[in-house]
Amino acid sequence: MKKVAVIGYGGQGAWHCDQIIKSDVVSLAGIYDIKENRREAAREKDIFVYSSNEEIFADKSVDIIVVATPNDVHEALVVSGLKSGHNVICEKPVALSVEEFDRMVEAQNESGKLLSVHQNRRWDVDYLGVKSVIESGEIDEVIRIESRIHGSRGIPSDWRCEKAPGGGMILDWGVHLIDQMLKLIPEKICTVSCYTTHITNTEVDDGFRLELGFVSGKTALVEVGTYNFIAMPRFYMQCKNGSLYLSDWKTKPQIAKLTRWIEKDVTPVQNAAGITKTMAPRDNLTLDIYENEIPKSDVHEFYRNFCLAIDGKCEQYIKNCEVRRVLCVMESAFCSAETLTTLKTDI
């Protein structure tokens, strides 16, 4: 079992500790947090509390350091962790800019240790359900994917509502949804257009709509809202031979698969104040409608993969070049939102 020490024992640091305690590949060495009340919370759970971050960096029995602090202190802690001879897992978003991340990767290359970013939402079953439909080819090639998350409580009133520590929804949720989208459509991005919302917060974005254009003509929408009292579906996908609809985190993907394009004698339907043939629903002679099972997923795979990668037995599942690409998209999204323009990109 590899020993892990966690820096930052807030919401996510505590989540890591719970996962590590349940894990079959890692064990918990202890934590450190700058706040006494958080150190006390750890002691109450019988977790060992280091006296400082420096004590963690000096502990050679530790194999992996997890950085779970607000985003603006990631770089300093990650670089110190690597320089002290440890493998490091950093929470998302790993950095506030591509430049910052490049410095972390440079420190990793010099250290000979591994750096990984906790993009845990690669194990979300909603995303995996869409991925499996694309990979099976059951409704043919993707035309467009829409990925949305809608909440209704604004931004949490902690550091997430301030700019300096790296708050806002592009950095908080965008990083997950963009990461997923780049796995679903593995192509170069040639256009980025982003619009941010500021309904409950003027300092940072409390939501955004990001349009991505890919070289083959595929398009994607990534949208996060925090002022939506009725939520739009989690995923909607148009493919060349059908459509997918997935309403929520843990619902089954619904598929409408085209069995025949040409229909005989489409009867116009009366809808609202008129009639239409174009928008008349299809019958079950030309559409096969079904649900797929929810895929199996185990979030512990993240630590299993990282431990095997440390031992040189496999590649890191979350690659730093992928993480960097997501940061490039986020930088373009901020730039597009600020200038109210669509950017031509080569990402």
Interacting residues toward ligand NAD by CB under 6 A:
7-13, 32-35, 38, 53, 68-71, 73, 91-92, 118, 120, 158-159, 172
Q: 22: which DSSP letter?
A: H
- Give least dist CB 293 to ligand NAD, A: 25
Closest CB to ligand NAD among 35 and 250?
35
Closest CB to ligand NAD among 149 and 244?
149
- Give least dist CB 47 to ligand NAD, A: 14
Neighbours of 192 (CB within 10 A): 25
- Give least dist CB 81 to ligand NAD, A: 11
Per-state percent for the chain, helix, strand, coil, to nearest 5: 35, 25, 40
- Please identify the residue of the shown chain whose CB is closest to the bound ligand NAD: 10
- Give least dist CB 199 to ligand NAD, A: 21
Closest CB to ligand NAD among 139 and 175?
175
Alpha-carbon span 47 to 33, nearest angstrom: 12
Amino acid at 305: N
Neighbours of 262 (CB within 10 A): 6
Closest CA to 174 of 138, 126, 225: 225
Q: What's the Cα-to-Cα distance from 306 to each of 8, 212, 331, rounded to whole Å?
A: 20, 30, 27
- Give least dist CB 72 to ligand NAD, A: 9
Closest CB to ligand NAD among 130 and 318?
318
Closest CB to ligand NAD among 77 and 130?
77
Exposed / middle / buried, residue 38 (Cβ in 10 Å: 0-12, 13-18, 19+): middle
Neighbours of 14 (CB within 10 A): 20
- Give least dist CB 289 to ligand NAD, A: 33
- Give least dist CB 298 to ligand NAD, A: 16
Closest CB to ligand NAD among 65 and 133?
65
Closest CB to ligand NAD among 172 and 223?
172
- Give least dist CB 171 to ligand NAD, A: 7
Q: What's the Cα-to-Cα distance from 169 to each of 159, 162, 203, rounded to whole Å?
A: 12, 11, 12
Alpha-carbon span 171 to 193, nearest angstrom: 16
Neighbours of 136 (CB within 10 A): 9
Alpha-carbon span 191 to 211, nearest angstrom: 8
Closest CB to ligand NAD among 94 and 185?
94
Are residues 259 and 286 in contact, defined by beta-carbon separation less than 8 angstroms? yes
